[in-house]
Each structure stands twice: as C-alpha cells, then as structure tokens.
Structure 1
Amino acid sequence: MGGYPHPNLPPRRGGRLPGNTARARYLRRNMTKAEQVLWRHLRMKQMAGWRFRRQSPVGPYVADFLCLDPPLIIELDGGQHDRRKPHDEKRTAFLNAKGFRVLRFWNNEVLTNIGGVLTVIREEGFALLESPPPLAGEDLGGGEA
C-alpha cells in the first residue's frame, strides 16, 4: 500500500501529512478484504512459527505484512498498482536494500487461491533461512532406536 498521501487519511492539524505510525495505524483499522484473509493465516505465528506484523512502517513506506526472521515483506496489490509500477519498483528496491525479500500478490490471487499464496510465502521464507524446520509430527531423527 504505502506512499503519500493515503487518499482516505485526513491530514494532521496544520495541514501536515501524518507520520508513518499514524498512517500504519489507520491502514490496520481499514484493511482490504484480501488483507483480512491473508492476515487470518499469518497472525499468531501460524505460518511456520514466524511472527508477522501487519501494516508496519519501514523507512518512508508502510509494508502490508512484515516478518523479521525470515526477512520477508508481503505486499498485496489491487488494480491501482498497474498505474503505480514505477513507485512500486522504487519501493521494492528500497526494501530489498534494507535486507527484505519482497513478495507481491494480487488481491484477487489471495481471495481465490489462498493455499497457493501461502505455499509461495512458506517456500520463500524457508529459502531465506536455508534449512526448514521439520513439519509438525515429522521424526526429528538424531538417535538410534
């Protein structure tokens, strides 16, 4: 999402734009349907035990979903992002320079193929960590019976 000014966010007193924290708070309260659907699957460490934050400030931007370990940012794009490609490329370059892997999904993709989206997130996260932990119920090995 990100970028100044947010079309539905009123300016602060004195006409100044609100800071990223206020903008992030506003965006958390006004999530899109696709953001709500994805958040239900990421919250409370449901994705491989990774802690995701929603609408989290990173420099001059607000990331839709951010995880520090593995360093992942997930951005959900609606139709307006076709017109904002140069802005999105600049934003992605900034976030990459901060050490994050940015994954972008269309809102429609989240709404119609949440399983596929979650699979990509999991695979990319484990690729960043280089060695995935065993899935629940898998034998940890390491000893003789």
Structure 2
Amino acid sequence: MWRALSGRKVAGVRFNRQVPIGSFICDFVSRGAGLIIEVDGGQHAASTAADAARTRYLEMEGYHVIRFWNHDVLGNLDGVVRDIERALAALPSPNPSRQREGS
C-alpha cells in the first residue's frame, strides 16, 4: 500500500504513514487533504465499536476516514487506489493551514 501512496502517486496528494493523532497511530494520513486511510486485518472484526469510536474521534479532529480490509489491499490494490482517488475527489477543497502543515 505504501508504494502505491508514496511520492504523491495518488492524485498528487502527499501521504505519511504511521502518523500519531491524539492517542491513535493512523496507517496513512494526508494532512493536506484531511484524509486518513486505515487498513484493517481480521482482528478488527471483533472491535467494530472501538473502530467506530476511533473514527468519531478522528472525524472530530477534522479528518475523513476510509477503511480497507487487508485482503482487499493485497488482492485488489488497483481497486483500492481507485476508491482512494474517488474519496479524495469527494473531499472539500484543502484547508490552507492544513496544507502548510502537511507540506
């Protein structure tokens, strides 16, 4: 996944990996776009309430959160990247202060 996101390869957007936000470590974050991408393994199936609480917190911090299962990333990376591009296109224009922060 990192190879697909690094170097502004998706819609020219910069992503960082393993970014701390509050008490959480987020898999992939674009501060400029306000997008967090979480890749979940099987262990997350049992923790949907915890994931929902985490997502609510991150959204309150101004981020949009999208999630993918590991098997989707491993088996359909092109489809996952297309979904990320669609999510980026649907987001409002970047916040200028956040853009400077993520540059």
TM-score w.r.t. length of structure 1: 0.62
Secondary structure of 2:19's counterpart equals strand
Residue matched to 1:74: 37
Structure having the higher helix fraction is 2
Using the alignment, how far apart are the partners of 1:119 and 1:68 within structure 2? 19
Alignment of 1:121-136 (within 5 A): 121-129=84-92
Secondary structure of 2:20's counterpart equals strand
Is 1:100 matched with 2:93? no
Q: Percent identity?
A: 43
State the structure with bigger RCO (CA 8 A, min sep 6), 1 or 2: 2
Using the alignment, how far apart are the partners of 1:123 and 1:78 within structure 2? 23
Using the alignment, how far apart are the partners of 2:59 and 2:70 within structure 1? 22
Which residue of 15, 23, 38 maps to 1:52? 15
| Structure 2 unmatched ranges of 5 or more | 94-103
Structure of larger gyration radius: 1
The total of aligned residue pairs comes to 93
Is 1:115 matched with 2:78? yes
Moved over 6 A (4+): none
Using the alignment, how far apart are the partners of 1:109 and 1:66 within structure 2? 19
Displacement of 1:51 after TM fit?
0.7
Give the aligned residue type for 1:67: S
Which residue of 41, 44, 48 maps to 2:4? 41
| Structure 1 unmatched ranges of 5 or more | 1-37, 131-145
